[in-house]
């Protein structure tokens, strides 16, 4: 088991690459913040923010491209991956990424205009705010 669950906010506009029509990859810089607290001795521990490198593949990458924007609050589930890469100068770098398997948008955008091409009809079914498995409404 290698499982990560995060609730946080998107730091800037997602970056999406298409390797072919089907193979989309989206990268999202994502902040989680741990609230500060006061120690028994009165010392104040400040808030702490971590910046995660989220990576979305295939269908999720397309959902990100369509609906996710800077500032949005998300719940994501995935796995930690550690990777080496060489930059243009041939320097080797470590990078830690979260491969996202599941996402839920927590920013409600009820009367939201769609990002790129606005839907003409107002009867359009609401934008998919959830990409989790949805099952029979028993």
Q: Residues in the site for a second copy, rule: CB under 8 A?
A: 1-8, 23, 25, 32, 34-35, 37-40, 42, 45, 48, 50-52, 55, 57-58, 75, 79-83, 93-94, 96, 99, 101-102, 125-126, 128-130, 132-138
Least distance in angstroms from the C-beta of 70 to DNA: 6
Partner from DNA, a second copy, none binding residue 85, C-beta < 5-8 Å depending on class: none
Q: CA 126: distance to chain centroid?
A: 20
Query: 114 or 128: whose CB is closer to a second copy?
Result: 128
Partner from DNA, a second copy, none binding residue 115, C-beta < 5-8 Å depending on class: none
- For residue 56, with 0-12 CB atoms within 10 Å meaning exposed, 13-18 middle and 19 or more buried, which class applies? buried
Distance CA 25, CA 138 (A): 35
Q: CA 30: distance to chain centroid?
A: 6
Residue 37 DSSP label: E
Query: 58 or 73: whose CB is closer to DNA?
Result: 73
Partner from DNA, a second copy, none binding residue 84, C-beta < 5-8 Å depending on class: none
Give the binding site for DNA (CB under 7 A): 8-12, 29, 31, 33, 49, 51, 70-71, 73
Query: 69 or 127: whose CB is closer to a second copy?
Result: 127
Partner from a second copy, DNA, none binding residue 7, C-beta < 5-8 Å depending on class: a second copy
Distance CA 29, CA 38 (A): 29
List the one residue out of 128, 79, 133, 135 whose CA is nearest residue 105.
128
What's the farthest any 2 CA atoms get from each other in the chain? 60
């Amino acid at each position: 088991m290698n499982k990560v669950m995060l609730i946080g906010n998107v730091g800037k506009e997602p970056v999406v690459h298409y390797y072919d029509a089907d193979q989309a990859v989206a990268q999202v810089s994502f902040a989680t913040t741990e609230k500060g607290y006061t120690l028994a001795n009165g010392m104040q521990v400040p808030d702490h923010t971590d910046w995660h490198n989220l990576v979305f593949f295939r269908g999720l990458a397309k959902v990100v491209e369509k609906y996710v924007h800077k500032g949005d609050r998300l719940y994501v589930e995935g796995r930690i991956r550690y990777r080496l890469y060489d930059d243009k100068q041939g320097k080797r770098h470590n990078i830690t990424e979260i491969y996202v398997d599941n996402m839920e948008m927590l920013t409600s955008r009820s009367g939201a205009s769609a990002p790129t091409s606005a839907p003409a009809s107002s009867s359009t079914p609401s934008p998919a705010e959830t990409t989790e498995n949805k099952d029979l409404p028993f």
